Structure formats: structure tokens, C-alpha cells
Structure 1
Amino acid sequence: MASREQSYKAGETKGRVEEKTNQTMGSLGEKAREGKDKTCETAEAAKEKTSSAAQSTKEKASQAAEAAKKKTCETTQATGGKSEAGKETTGGIIQKTGEQVKSMAQSALDAVKHTTGFAKEDDNVKKTNSPLHKEGN
């Protein structure tokens, strides 16, 4: 039989082991919470950055379309003194160019949306039905 002193020491050792185990578990739990918090912060920062990039691309596409529209108007006004047939031909070419620029800007915006995960299902349908997609551009 074990002596009282051996039983006492065994109980004391068991108590220390339990205390150390509890400390370790607490420390691991805290580190896990810190890791989770950091992961959430990183994900939020990435989401904000992606959203900002998508907004910037959308604004640039809008500016490009507006500039093309303005250029079309300026060109149309500059050709005002020419014959009616010349106006129609030039206007048609400028209109087509403006539409192409607008379509390319929209395609660029759609590509960014798709890449960043902001595209909706109906955006993907529009893209596959777009004139540029059908022409192979």
C-alpha cells in the first residue's frame, strides 16, 4: 500500500497537472479567438478593397461612355454645315463607335464584377447575350 506521503504527493501532482492543463486550454482558446478576429478583419478589408475597385471601375466606364457621347455630339455639331447625306453617314459611324465604346466599357465593368464576385446571375445572362459576345469580340 502506498504511504500517506505518496498519496499526498500524487494528489498534489495531479492538481498541478490539472491546473497546467486548464491554463494551456485557456491560452489556446484565446489564441483561437484572436485568429478568428484577425481573419474577420482581413476578410472585411478585402471586401472593402474589392468594393472600392469595382466602384472605381464603374466610374471610369461611366466617364468613358460620357466622353464618347460628348465627342459624338461635338463631331456631329462640327459636321452640321455638310450635306444631309454626309450627316447621316457620319452620324451613323459616330453612333456605332459610341455604342461600341459603351459596350466595351460595360463589358469591362461586367468582367470586373464577375472577377470580384459582385456579378448577379442575370448579369451573366446579359453578358452572354451581348452584341460583343455574339460577334466574338
Structure 2
Amino acid sequence: MEKTNQTVGQLGDKAREGKDKAYETAEAAKEKTSSAAQSAKEKASQTAEAAKEKTSETAQAARGKSEAGKVETGGIIQKTGDQVKSMAQGAQNMAQGALDAVKHTAGIGTEDGNAKK
């Protein structure tokens, strides 16, 4: 009976050792999984932040191009307006010159402003 008690005691010790080993393995796996999850979470956060920054930079660049387009368009409109104004002034000067030539030819006016009959 003594030998049976010894064998049972040894089996109990082995069982406790196996249980402890399983617990340690489970804890190590849990720690490793937690660490991997934390790393994945940090990586996802970094990726999201990088995407947010890139989106912001792209939007800023688009706004800059839009502003440049507005300025360029405004410049074109201003230039066109100036050209139309210049052309109108030229046409008015030509019309005035033609009117003066007709008056001079018809003898309606003189350079000093007196009228001829």
C-alpha cells in the first residue's frame, strides 16, 4: 500500500506540474496575443492618422489650385475688360475723327470753334 500511495503522490505531483505548465503557457499566449492586439491597434491608429494628414494636404492643395484658378480667371476677365474698354475708346476716337473730318469737309466747323455759313 505504501508503494501505491507513493505512486499516487507522484502522479498528483506530475498532474500539478502539468497544470502549472499549462497555466504558464496560457498566460504567455494571452500576453503575446494582448501585445499583438496592442501593436495592431497602434498601427491602425498611425495609418488612420497618416491618411487623415494626406487627405488634409490633398484638400489644401486643391484649395490652393482653386484659388490660383480664381485669381487667373479674375486676371483674364480684367484683361478682357481692359481690352474691350480700349477698343471702345479707340472706336469712339475713330468716330470723333470721322465726324470732325465730315464737319471740316462740309465747312461746318473751324478749328477755333466758329461756325461757317
- TM-score scaled to structure 1, two decimals? 0.58
2:97 and 2:41 map into 1 onto residues whose CA distance is: 86
Match of residue 80, structure 1, among 96, 103, 109: 96
- 2:38 is the alignment partner of 1:22: yes
- 2:59 is the alignment partner of 1:43: yes
Larger radius of gyration: 2
Match of residue 57, structure 1, among 51, 64, 73: 73
Q: Which runs of 5+ in 1 are unaligned?
A: 87-137
2:96 and 2:32 map into 1 onto residues whose CA distance is: 96
Deviations 1:43-74 (A, max 9, x none): 00000001111110111001101100001111
Deviations 1:4-37 (A, max 9, x none): 1111111111000000001110110000000000
How much does 1:83 deviate? 3.6
Partner of residue 115, structure 2: none
Q: How many residues align?
A: 85
Q: Which runs of 4+ in 1 moved over 6 A?
A: none
Q: Which runs of 5+ in 2 are unaligned?
A: 1-15, 103-117
Partner of residue 98, structure 1: none
Identity %: 18
1:69 and 1:35 map into 2 onto residues whose CA distance is: 50
- TM-score scaled to structure 2, two decimals? 0.67
**How large is the RMSD of aligned CA atoms in angstroms?**
1.9
Name the SS for the 2:98 alignment partner: coil
